[in-house]
Amino acid sequence: MTEVLSAPLVVEFPFTRSVGPVQSAFLTGLRERTLLGVRAADGTVLVPPVEYDPATAAELRDLVEVAPTGTVTTWAWNPGPRRGQPLDTPFAWVLVRLDGADTALLHALDAPDPDAVRTGLRVRVRWAAERTGAITDIACFEPYEGDVMVHQAPSHSGEFVGEAVTGIVAPARLDYTYSPGRAQSQYIRALSGHRTVGERCPSCRKVYVPPRGACPTCGVATAEQVEVGPRGTVTTFCIVNIKAKGLDIEVPYVYAHIALDGADLALHARIAGIPYDRVRMGLRVEPVWADSATGSRYPDHYRPTGEPDADYDTYKELV
């Protein structure tokens, strides 16, 4: 068993999302330290407010103002806050029914320990110092000794001084330890020795490069290793005219499918060492390995070998 490779992988993206009119009013209200709900046809006040009734799907637009105080309807003590959560010291997750609302809002409650928390606890909003029109404008809730402010939530226009919030940017990051599995680990290890190793299907005898451990035609495991190349044939290509962000390659350049000698599946790579408009199907090429000083373990690009072009019949099955 070859030692399996692994590497850290971070998937990170700032999701930019537009909001509807009810969400806009709610988020703008948070920025202005005002809590809005929406009234459904049956009179129920929903906080946080939604654009459509969760029961009937009717469009909801009847905004009301609710109090910044409320009652815990359920809770859970979180002894180990995780990245991105509202507080970085142990806290309680709570569902809070704000005074004037009929549904509950999920957030964090700042409390010293679980003994300080119970269902029915009275709490109030602690506003964030800097507010942008996001759910995190509520920093958290905190225990509150005041009376229940029972009231009929008054109507609200949803309009505030200043620009209405039209969207949110929600950063998302997930961390992984990527492991490519047995077949691809062996492939990558071989590359570090400037060798390209595929795997042969025991059924159809085709050699796959890079190998993924299975023959996609037969659906069976591949295991027999076969060294292929290093030379190969351009089976098809395209000319790239748009410079990719962060990629230090001048355009135009050629990206090609290359059938390495002995392989039954073309891989793709950049072609260099020849003017872009001279590249053609059948061109014989060889790898130029990335400078090992950079730690790279792959062919940086392929260049012409100077051999005569391959005859179309020798690679037509691989186009």
Partner 1 sequence: MAAAAHGARDVAIVAFGQSDHRRSTDELSEVELLMPVLHEVLAATGLKTGDIGFTCSGSSDYLAGRAFSFTMALDGVGAWPPISESHVEMDGAWALYEAWVKLQTGECDTALVYSYGKSSPGSVRDVLTRQLDPYYVAPLWPDSVALAALQARALIDAGDTDERALAGVATRSRTAARTNPHAQLRGSVPHGGYVVHPLRTGDCPPIGDGAAAVVLAAGERARELCGRPAWIRGIDHRIEPHSLGVRDLTDSVSTRLAAERAGAFERPVDTAELHAPFTSQEVVLRKALRLGDQVTVNPSGGALAANPVMAAGLIRLGEAAARIHRGASERALAHATSGPCLQQNLVAVLEGDPR
Q: Which positions lie near partner 1, rule CB under 8 A?
A: 1, 4, 6, 9, 11, 15, 17, 19, 23, 27, 46-48, 50, 54-55, 73-79, 82-86, 93, 95, 97, 103-108, 114, 119, 134-136, 168, 170, 172, 174-184, 212-221
Q: Which residue has the tokens 């009119």?
A: 21
List the one residue out of 153, 265, 169, 167 whose CA is nearest residue 209: 265
d(CA 136, CA 155): 24
Which of 108, 234 has the CB closer to partner 1? 108
Which of 102, 300 has the CB closer to partner 1? 102
- Phi, psi (rounded to 5 degrees) for 50: -125, 165
Which of 48, 287 has the CB closer to partner 1? 48
Closest approach, Cβ 192 to partner 1, in A, equals 19
Closest approach, Cβ 58 to partner 1, in A, equals 14
Which of 7, 247 has the CB closer to partner 1? 7
In this structure, are residues 196 and 215 in contact, taking their beta carbons and an 8 Å threshold?
no
Which of 4, 251 has the CB closer to partner 1? 4
List the one residue out of 51, 61, 32, 20 whose CA is nearest residue 167: 20
Q: What Rg, from alpha-carbon coordinates, does the chain have?
A: 31
d(CA 48, CA 68): 12
Tokens of 290: 């990335």
Amino acid at 65: E
Closest approach, Cβ 231 to partner 1, in A, equals 27
List the one residue out of 172, 221, 181 whose CA is nearest residue 201: 221
